[in-house]
A and B are shown apart, each in its own frame.
Chain A
Amino acid sequence: MDSIAAVNVVAFKTIVTKEIRRFMRIWVQTIVPPAVSALLYMMIFGTLIGSRVGEMDGHRYIDFIVPGIIMMAVITNSYSNSVSSFFGAKFQHHLEELLIAPVHNFVILAGFVAGGVCRGLMVGALVAAVSMFFTKLSIENPLITLLVVVLTSTLFSIAGVINSVFAKGFDDISIIPNFVLTPLTYLGGIFYSVKLLPDFWEGLSFINPVLYMINGFRFGILGTSDISIGWSFTVILSFIVILASVALYLLNKGVGIKS
């Protein structure tokens, strides 16, 4: 390993450590709220309303929605961690600490993404723990479950970095989560099987990438899905490759971060 490669290994660990320290320092804002939201979703939709809904895709309604609720928490927290951390660093100019250091842009991206993944998984684990109060969470395919959640978290962490590269103000980092991410997540089959939809809407749902992630995760946990697991992995991996390439291009060009 040459000296610059060795520098970058330490730099990567440093960025990840800093990112974890950042979100843990404000854990009341970053870790607890998603667990409270998930608790309310499970109480209201799972227990109160769900008991009248009956079965969905051959599972109790609460069992059906738990994977989606976990995945929703993972997606939103992975995204919001990298978008707020990267934009905060840009806004306060301490991103310059990294830009003047001998750190490859790939390592900068990987560090922020790893931070987002750590928060996403931590929140996901907490929501999963909360779900134990409502259902007996048994995992059919642990490896698939883990792969889908890590890859999805990676994807949305990268998307968060791209958002923050273009963002010029705090409004710009809330537009995508509020007006794109939330609708796609809610319409991605958290609370229902797309098979229940009329043909047109079912067909339209398949252009929503979040559907492939939630169903991939549901397949890992329950063993059933609206979409084949192969398609889920194909879509997730394709988006990761595309978004990572875009993010690296932007960082290499210095878009939004250099004059």
Chain B
Amino acid sequence: MKALEITGLKKTYDNDHVALDGVDLSVDKGDFFALLGPNGAGKSTTIGIISSLVNATEGTVRIQGLDLKSQRNQCKLLIGLVPQEFNFNVFETPLNILVTQAGYYGIPKSVAQERAERYLKLLELWEKRDRPAREMSGGMKRRLMIARALVHQPEILILDEPTAGVDIEIRRSMWEFLEEINKNGTTIILTTHYLEEAETLCRNVAIIDDGKIVEQGAVSDLLSRSKFQSFVFDLKQPPEQPPVLEGFKVTHCEGSRLDVEMPLGDSMNSLFEQLSSQGLEVVSMRNKSNRLEEFFLRLVSSKDQQEAS
């Protein structure tokens, strides 16, 4: 069964800006799915329409087989939303925020109190339950929005840039938490700028650009289509001029840093031999970006080049 099916979704804002230009997308029930794209590509508009915060101009959205337009309230019961911006009453306490949100979904206060306690404890916010939300750190506020989105126990959890601006430690703990609830059957759809996040967590991704889905499929399939990878080398001495490396492409050379692009699967022995023969000593090396990021950047830049030509 599909958790989400979007067909021909279009959105034109009042200022005539076309945010979505015929988006087709489907997400399986139980999937961990990422919607990727550059800024302004249409990710947040898509999520806004699914969660009823934005009116679609055209197209259909089905949530677990229900039509969003004609069965909107039934659809809303199935969805939990963690938006990009903080959107809770900062003067309220986390406990009240959760109990109130549960009330909006018809959950009686006694049950809401129990659930609020459970999710605040799970997300390590219980100690802050009676303090105004404005006193919490950015990471705590993000976790509060996740707890709030889960309090009515939705079948689909949508997260718009959930880890933006949080430190690595909190990000990792949020990933673990999301993986856990996904294992328990909740479908998760997220947008993110951290492609490492998508590669680590998600089984399927879609890439949206200029209001259209340009790629969609399993992360493993997309990665297998990636033909290149890039490395950053730190050299002991800065080269006098960028080295010429046969079979490899030097994409950046500044100071003692050297960026090299190479076909995926090629041996690196020849690269090290050439560097050594030119008197360049490698101190350390690392992947320039993760593989999904590489694929994403190539996809977007090739499209930009096509448009320019």
**Binary contact readout A218-256 vs B (1 if CB under 8 angstroms, 0 otherwise):** 000000000000000000000000000000000000100
In the assembly, what is the distance between CA of A97 and CA of B81, in Å? 9
Q: A93-B85, A97-B100, A102-B76 are in contact. Are A3 and B53 (CB under 8 A)?
A: no
Give the secondary structure class of B's interface.
Answer: loop
CB of B67, distance to nearest CB on chain A (Å): 15
Which A residues touch B148, using CB under 8 A?
Answer: 97
In the assembly, what is the distance between CA of A96 and CA of B54, in Å? 11
Q: Is B153 an interface residue (CB 8 A)?
A: no
Which A residues touch B51, using CB under 8 A?
Answer: 100
Q: Is A135 an interface residue (CB 8 A)?
A: no
Question: What total of chain A residues lie within 8 Å of the partner, measured CB to CB?
Answer: 31
Q: Is B272 an interface residue (CB 8 A)?
A: no
Which A residues touch B211, using CB under 8 A?
Answer: none
Question: What total of chain B residues lie within 8 Å of the partner, measured CB to CB?
Answer: 33
Of residues 58 through 86 on chain B, the ones whose CB sits less than 8 Å from some CB of chain A are 72-74, 76-77, 79, 81, 83, 85-86
**Binary contact readout A1-42 vs B (1 if CB under 8 angstroms, 0 otherwise):** 001101111110111011001000100000000000000000
**Binary contact readout A49-61 vs B (1 if CB under 8 angstroms, 0 otherwise):** 0000000000000
CB of A58, distance to nearest CB on chain B (Å): 49
CB <8 Å contact, B53 and A25? no
In the assembly, what is the distance between CA of A259 and CA of B76, in Å? 18
Interface residues of chain B, those whose CB is within 8 Å of chain A, are: 13, 45, 48, 51-55, 72-74, 76-77, 79, 81, 83, 85-91, 96, 100-101, 103-108, 148
Q: Offer 15 A-B interface pairs, CB within 8 angstroms, sorted by A.
A: A9-B106, A10-B106, A14-B100, A15-B103, A17-B100, A92-B87, A96-B87, A97-B148, A98-B104, A100-B53, A101-B76, A102-B76, A254-B55, A259-B13, A259-B55
> Lowest 6 A-B CB distances belong to which pairs?
A14-B103, A7-B106, A101-B104, A102-B73, A93-B87, A102-B76
